[in-house]
Amino acid sequence: MEQVINVIGAGLAGCEAAWQIAKRGGYVRIYEMKPHKKTPAHHLDTFAELVCSNSLKSNQLENAAGLLKEELRRMGSLIMECADSNAVPAGGALAVDREDFSRCVTEKIKNHPNIEVIEQECSKIDDENITIIATGPLTSEALIAEIARITGDGFLSFFDAAAPIVKADSINMEKAFIASRYDRGEADYINCPMTKEEYAAFYEALINAEKAEVKDFEKHLVFEGCMPIEVMAERGPDTLRFGPLKPVGLTDPRTGKMPYAVVQLRRDNKEGTLYNMVGFQTRLKWGEQKRVFSMIPGLENAEFVRYGVMHRNTFINSPRLLLPSYRMKKRRNLFFAGQITGVEGYVESTASGLVAGINAFRLLKGMDEIYFPKSTALGALAHYISTSSVGTFQPMNINFGLIEDLKPTDSDGKPLKIKDKRLKNRMISERALRVIESMKDI
């Protein structure tokens, strides 16, 4: 009897992983607790349920989400096949009829001769078979205890309280300056100084901005030590100036004086291409974050690669635990895939399922692991989650800040700067797709 690979969770990542294994000739047993038991966000009885928006974001190659989808298509992704065949008109984005999409994935999984579906909640991981855990951000309690046991103390988070992250090259350094408070240590922070008037306008906009809806199952969450910035602001006009926006120990080199208030940004990845806004965890709606935070001097044209969120999200400390194949460093036959690894979003979850599935199959067959290169969106995402981030590990959407930069040169070999951002993104995408073309038969 051929050995079976277990996949736990028939969500976006689990279905993709199962498909990648089965289409290569491997046998899969996929466990799904629906329809007997559902998380507070799942309502359909079928697999790969889109729990909120029905959009899989941009389809354009100038957008990193568009590139990731195209890479998945070329790698023979089940989720992309069903999404494309159940698309509804959505301009440059890919949106789907959520029920038809979910039904399409379910039928393909259930009808595949190499896949056995077991409708049952899983609470234990066996040591014998190769297993992929893909139970998502709302993993059931019974399995959470098992994952905590396997990963070890302190390696599992239960909610995401993340501040927005911006691309470093979109910060206006004519206004912002690099320094550490009291000149301690390296000059690690980018500082956005505010005058009294700028602070007052920002404060008014912040306390009046629209907040995102809080789901019933998230109402009980407490955020000790990481209060939303807008909640802190409501305590009084000066609270932020004595908290995350305190200016003490910082001198604006342009005025030679201490600013009235300062927003600090801290490096978020080793390459220094991404910066997070210190203390800005928030529940404002995304459009409001863009509007209000762009009022901060230096961030007028900031490109937000991730907005701040505060919601329930179960995820492991992947940089400490996983390899770029999504396999556990310390436990050879255990993989994780989907949002539980710290990738964020439908397509990102699918992408990690694809990479984990391919690698689980290769492990079964005694073949070498495959790491997708950082010049591809699939590889950049896997690299982000499996490499120690500079600060606390936080989930991440795919964005061009993660993908290896282009290093174009002129005819004399001198570095060339491509000013047109869309053109540059397109060139990065074309380079990535050439790499994927060479890998699609693995």
Binding positions for FAD are 9-14
CB 65, min distance to ligand FAD, A: 9
CA gap 155, 314 in Å, rounded: 11
Phi, psi of 439 (to 5 degrees): -110, -5
Q: Any contact of residue 381 with ligand FAD (CB under 6 A)?
A: no
Q: Any contact of residue 41 with ligand FAD (CB under 6 A)?
A: yes
Q: β-strands 261-267, 274-277: how paired?
A: antiparallel
Q: Any contact of residue 137 with ligand FAD (CB under 6 A)?
A: yes
Nearer to ligand FAD, 31 or 293 (CB): 31
Residue 78 in contact with residue 47, Cβ under 8 Å? no
Q: Any contact of residue 380 with ligand FAD (CB under 6 A)?
A: no
Query: By CB under 6 A, what part of segment 192-231 binds ligand FAD?
Result: 215
CA gap 276, 278 in Å, rounded: 6
CB 313, min distance to ligand FAD, A: 7
CB 276, min distance to ligand FAD, A: 19
Cα 355-96-403 angle, rounded to 5 deg: 35
Query: By CB under 6 A, what part of segment 312-341 binds ligand FAD?
Result: 338-340
Q: Any contact of residue 33 with ligand FAD (CB under 6 A)?
A: yes
Q: Which of 134, 265, 302, 316 binds ligand FAD (CB under 6 A)?
A: 134
Q: Any contact of residue 12 with ligand FAD (CB under 6 A)?
A: yes
- Binding segment (CB under 6 A) for ligand FAD, from list 132-140, 290-298, 326-334, 427-435: 132-140
Q: Which of 46, 77, 289, 349 binds ligand FAD (CB under 6 A)?
A: 349
**204: Cα separation from own chain's centroid:** 31
Nearer to ligand FAD, 8 or 209 (CB): 8
Q: Which of 4, 5, 9, 362 binds ligand FAD (CB under 6 A)?
A: 9
Q: Any contact of residue 139 with ligand FAD (CB under 6 A)?
A: yes
List, in order, residues 6 or more apart from 423 with CB less than 8 Å away. Answer: none
CA gap 398, 349 in Å, rounded: 10
CB 379, min distance to ligand FAD, A: 19
Query: By CB under 6 A, what part of segment 96-125 binds ligand FAD?
Result: 121-122
**Number of other CB atoms surrounding residue 410 within 10 Å:** 8
Q: Which of 143, 232, 263, 385 binds ligand FAD (CB under 6 A)?
A: 143
Residue 374 in contact with residue 394, Cβ under 8 Å? no
Q: Any contact of residue 31 with ligand FAD (CB under 6 A)?
A: yes
Nearer to ligand FAD, 134 or 355 (CB): 134
**Number of other CB atoms surrounding residue 176 within 10 Å:** 24
- Binding segment (CB under 6 A) for ligand FAD, from list 47-55, 124-132, 151-159, 361-369: 47-55
Annotated binding site: 9-14
Which residues of this protein are in contact with ligand FAD, per CB under 6 A? 8-14, 31-34, 39, 41-42, 51-53, 121-122, 134-140, 142-143, 215, 338-340, 345-346, 349
